Structure 1
Amino acid sequence: MTQDAMKDPHIVRSFDQELEAVQAHLMRMGGLVEGCLSDAIMALSDKDVALAQQTIKADRAIDELEELVKNDSANIIALRAPTAIDLRMVLATFTIANQLERSGDHAKNIAKRAMTLAGSPSLDEVVPAIARQAQMVQRLLADAMECFIQRNADAAQAIRERDAEVDAMYNNVFRTLLTHMMENPGNITAGMHLHFVAKNLERIGDHATGIAEQTIYLVSGQLPDDDRPRLDQTPAETTEIQ
């Protein structure tokens, strides 16, 4: 904050309240994204079209919260002129909101694939492996949000390193799907849909890692300058964002 603002306890208190309000919106976003991801995978596993439709609709609330966070963050910067760690907090919050919004889009895409696959018995045996991949990604996302809340840079660095585990899980699912499709051309359609599900999960893992990196930035003032460990080299264009 500006020096003049620091001298006025009322301004300081108002600024803190504004920051807390934006943080509350962000935490709400995180909870909604985690819920949408869980519902999307359940819809896939249970062939539950109604739940998939509900998940797709729920993405609107995530988008609305992102707009709220962005607008409130911009107003804080414009009106409060924060400095140092206060500015980093606002910028990190802004960036994490975008990471969460994109994660919500990926969850929505999974729900769409679940609707398509609901009438198909093909490759049901691969779905449990995808569900395990989803559990890993859900834990990564939840832990990333928790380390941001706690301002825990060490935990954030550990999350960056865990991203390689998510990539490895994706690669295993991809190889399994490829084997099924090569053995039986009748599995190709279902296999491609499930591949997109697995790829969307892998991208959510990337966004969780991005959230962890924002925690490191918040605490240290610098983003990590080393490349995070990656085992997946598939281009991002293989997933759809809507």
Structure 2
Amino acid sequence: MNEDTHIVSSFDRDLEQIQAHIMKMGGLVEQAIIDASQSLIQRDEELSEQVREKDAAIDALEELINEEAARVIALRSPTAIDLRIILAVIKISGNLERIGDYSKNMAKRNSVLVQMPPIEGSRRALGRMAKEVQMMLKDALDAYIQRDVELAREILERDHEIDQMYNALFREFLTFMMEDPRHITPCMHLHFIAKNTERMGDHVTAIAEQVVYLVTGSMPEDNRPKVEIAKTLDDASNS
């Protein structure tokens, strides 16, 4: 084996290792969404605490991916296409870390909500929204591994469904708050969970965009159907 072949082989191994970290991180984030959602539906404080504790592993993987990506760039002098892969990986890991944070925040708020009377129907509606985000994330990671541009573009289209779910929940929480002042505090917490879930969808969309960029060399045009996002409950109460 000559020196050039050895360098290429070493680079491929490095890249495979980084991409293995991405998939491990993606699996942890998917599970965080599932567990945070279940803890909310079942009013399970113990499961909420597990989500919060496991977030450290997600953060550690992002740090590891960034360190290894920086080392590969410094030592391997990657070609343009290889550099594109590395930059996409860095951005994908950043988006995964943010989704993990939002899952942790959902778990934190559930620890407060379990002390309050439940708001009828809201937890399962939030669970359905979180499930859709989790499935979008699974598909986005599959699109990344398979370099599937069509699947990535489909995910971009699906994000507007998350926005519509958020808007429906926003109106529902506002109605509950207007009907009974005792609902104000739990509805505020539930609203922030809904908003965080909507933002998870935005980060999944950003991962899908990176897949399109990775395969085509350009970011997708933003010609998706627009959904106007409802105000926050703070804004609504002051208007």
1:214 aligns with 2:221: no
Q: 1:215 to 1:196 in 2, by over 3 A?
A: same
Q: Which moved more, 1:95-104 or 1:224-233?
A: 224-233
| Corresponding pairs, count | 232
1:60 aligns with 2:56: yes
Aligned equivalent of 2:80, options 78, 84, 87: 84
Tell me the equivalent position of 1:201: 197
For residue 122 of structure 1, give the secondary structure of its aligned residue in structure 2.
coil
CA distance in 2, matches of 1:85, 1:228: 27
- What is the CA deviation profile of residues 126-152 of structure 1, one whole-angstrom value per residue up to 9, with x for unaligned ones? 111111111111111111111011101
1:107 aligns with 2:107: no
Instruction: Decide whether the 8 Å contact of 2:7 with 2:76 is kept in 1.
Output: no
The one-letter code matched in structure 2 to 1:151 is R
For residue 8 of structure 1, give the secondary structure of its aligned residue in structure 2.
helix
TM-score after normalising by structure 1: 0.92
Sequence identity, in percent? 50
- How large is the RMSD of aligned CA atoms in angstroms? 1.7
Q: 1:26 to 1:49 in 2, by over 3 A?
A: same
TM-score after normalising by structure 2: 0.93
The one-letter code matched in structure 2 to 1:209 is T
Aligned equivalent of 1:42, options 17, 29, 38: 38
CA distance in 2, matches of 1:109, 1:47: 15
1:135 aligns with 2:92: no
Q: Which runs of 4+ in 1 moved over 2 A?
A: 225-230, 232-236
The one-letter code matched in structure 1 to 2:123 is V
The 5-angstrom pairing of residues 155-174 of structure 1 reads 155-174=151-170
Tell me the equivalent position of 2:237: none
1:123 aligns with 2:119: yes
CA distance in 2, matches of 1:74, 1:235: 40
- Structure 2's unaligned 5+ residue stretches are 235-239
Tell me the equivalent position of 1:25: 21
The one-letter code matched in structure 2 to 1:195 is H
CA distance in 1, matches of 2:30, 2:120: 24
For residue 35 of structure 2, give the secondary structure of its aligned residue in structure 1.
helix
CA distance in 2, matches of 1:124, 1:10: 62
CA distance in 1, matches of 2:77, 2:226: 38
The one-letter code matched in structure 2 to 1:79 is L
Q: 1:216 to 1:36 in 2, by over 3 A?
A: same
CA distance in 2, matches of 1:49, 1:20: 38
CA distance in 2, matches of 1:233, 1:167: 6
Residue 36 of structure 1 and its aligned partner are, at CA, apart by 0.8
The one-letter code matched in structure 2 to 1:186 is R
Q: 1:97 to 1:233 in 2, by over 3 A?
A: same
Residue 180 of structure 1 and its aligned partner are, at CA, apart by 0.8
